[in-house]
Amino acid sequence: MAEQLYTIPVNDAFDTDCECPVCAMYIKLENDALDYTLGPSYMEEDVRAMTDKVGFCKEHAKKMYERGNRLGMALMYQTHTYGVIEAMSKLKPETKSGFLKKADNSSLINYVRNMSDSCFICDRIEKVLDRYIVTIMYLWKHDEVFKEKYKNSKGFCMDHYAMLVEYASKELSGKELESFMEITEKLFIDNMKRVKEDLDWFINKFDYRYKDESWKNGKDALPRMLGKVNSLDIQE
Ligand SMILES: [Zn+2]
Ligand SMILES: [Zn+2]
């Protein structure tokens, strides 16, 4: 059986007025993942086994902390750090080197780096976002209404533009691939230029010569540009 498609959330994101519909999907999935992780699920054995194993990245640790449920978070970190201490106690830093060799501490360094990068919440988001992007490609091939919606979007952030190019190369071919790449590239560049012009105007407004003129679309140009360049979601 074919993998599940997610036409509803994908269409919803493309119906949203935003600078990147994939960011809109990401934000929704991230909120759901945060709710799930801080909900009753952290007391379930299989979920706790996963949070113990992979932990959380810096960004999601911060977002969980800001949401409250301090007890739930403390319990997850209690059992997670139990494993971390156990593993790291075995990874003592080396000081002595072999003959003509420097001390090798790569196992310890790699353990810490992998742990900092791995994240239960990122994993949950990525798994579904992957299916969402596959769904975009499916809809591109089969749904003319979606195609129009896609063409009328305000483009994408840099990261998700690259993601769309990557998935299209795998999922599409021939004429479908050609038209997807052509339209996606144009959407990306044209809309980057649009937000850049808004940013130019935002900068002009700091000049006394423009102070009585209207803000046009410049007022929130900086947070929108941070959305395009850094995939940041900043509400003014
Ligand atoms: Zn994005
Ligand atoms: Zn994360």
| 98 alpha carbon – ligand 2 mean position (Å) | 38
Tens-place pLDDT, residues 68-102: 899 999 999 999 999 999 999 999 998 877 777 78
pLDDT band with cut points at 50, 70 and 90 for residue 55: very high
Tokens of residue 188, six digits: 């990306």
**In this structure, are residues 122 and 57 in contact, taking their beta carbons and an 8 Å threshold?**
yes
**In this structure, are residues 63 and 34 in contact, taking their beta carbons and an 8 Å threshold?**
yes
**In this structure, are residues 2 and 139 in contact, taking their beta carbons and an 8 Å threshold?**
no
Tens-place pLDDT, residues 136-154: 999 999 999 999 999 999 9
Residue 1 has a pLDDT of 42
pTM value is: 0.91
Average pLDDT over residues 229-234: 95
| 147 alpha carbon – ligand 1 mean position (Å) | 18
Q: To the nearest 10°, report the CA torsion of 97, 103, 108, 114.
A: -140
Return all residues near 88 (Cβ < 8 A) that are at least 6 apart: 108, 111, 112
Task: Please tell me the number of the ligand nearest to residue 129's CA.
Answer: 1
DSSP one-letter code for 91: -
| 220 alpha carbon – ligand 1 mean position (Å) | 17
| 57 alpha carbon – ligand 2 mean position (Å) | 4
**By C-alpha distance, which of 111, 57, 51 is closest to 75?**
51
pLDDT band with cut points at 50, 70 and 90 for residue 235: confident
Residue 3 has a pLDDT of 66
Cα torsion 15, 19, 21, 27: sign: negative
Tokens of residue 221, six digits: 């140009």
| 184 alpha carbon – ligand 2 mean position (Å) | 28
